[in-house]
């Protein structure tokens, strides 16, 4: 990276950090022992994904093992395997959520660090970059983004790429 690009990246990250830390509060619940980014990084990544919606919201991040991840994925999505991240919005109606004034729970992200670590290794990504991607991905689900239909998936991927770029990460959908 040349000097100009490094300066631009640093400036984008400072702006993102300043904007993201204004609103979202992150509560981390550990059910497993694993390396996890600092709470401030999780808040930065989620806050950048949420944008203005981050103001006065709370996101819970629950770290689970593969067994619990598999059970939750089977129960709520009908898929019998451990997954990297599950999102559980606290309020399904985005209009109702937007009208709230006080700090409100936005929802829960359930992350399986073991699955995340295996995916990062398999995809040739740094662990930190994959964490950032999955926190952004999960946070977008909390505010109504989805990838069940092709057009929705493209919209969500474009948003993820733009958010991650602002945070100084590369496109997660390009091969390493």
Q: What digits encode the pLDDT tens for the residues 83-132?
A: 999 999 997 765 565 565 556 888 999 999 999 999 999 999 999 999 99
Ranges of beta strands (E only) in 45-84 are 57-63
pLDDT at 19 exceeding the cut of 50: no
Residues 6+ apart with CB under 8 A from 174: none
* The pair of three-digit structure tokens given for residue 23, joined into one six-digit string: 């609103």
- The CATH fold assigned to 3-166 is Collagenase (Catalytic Domain) (3.40.390)
Cross-sheet strand order for the sheet of 85-89: 25-30, 57-63, 104-111, 85-89
Show me where the domains of the chain are located.
3-166
Task: State residue 6's pLDDT score.
Answer: 54
pLDDT of residue 104: 81
pTM: 0.83
Beta bridge partners of 63: 30, 111
The pLDDT of residue 20? 45
d(CA 35, CA 37): 7
User: 119 Cβ partners below 8 Å, 6+ apart?
Assistant: 84, 125, 130
Structure tokens at 32: 């497993």
Q: pLDDT, tens digit, for every residue of 130-167?
A: 999 999 999 999 999 999 899 999 999 999 999 999 99
- CA angle 25–27–31, rounded 5-degree value: 160
């Amino acid at each position: 990276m040349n000097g100009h690009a490094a300066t631009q990246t640093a400036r984008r990250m400072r702006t993102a950090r300043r904007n993201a830390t204004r609103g979202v509060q992150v509560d981390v619940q550990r059910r497993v022992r694993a390396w996890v980014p600092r709470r401030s990084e999780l808040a930065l990544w989620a806050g950048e994904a949420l944008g203005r919606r981050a103001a006065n919201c709370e996101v819970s991040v629950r770290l689970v093992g593969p067994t619990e991840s598999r059970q939750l994925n089977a129960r709520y999505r009908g898929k019998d395997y451990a997954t990297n991240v599950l999102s559980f919005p606290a309020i399904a109606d985005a209009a109702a959520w937007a009208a709230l004034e006080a700090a409100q729970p936005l929802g829960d992200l359930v992350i399986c660090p073991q699955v995340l670590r295996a995916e990062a290794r398999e995809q040739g990504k740094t662990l930190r970059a994959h964490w950032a991607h999955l926190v952004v991905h999960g946070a977008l689900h909390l505010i109504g983004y989805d990838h069940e239909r092709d057009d929705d998936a493209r919209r969500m991927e474009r948003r993820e790429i733009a958010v991650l770029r602002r945070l100084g990460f590369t496109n997660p959908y390009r091969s390493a």
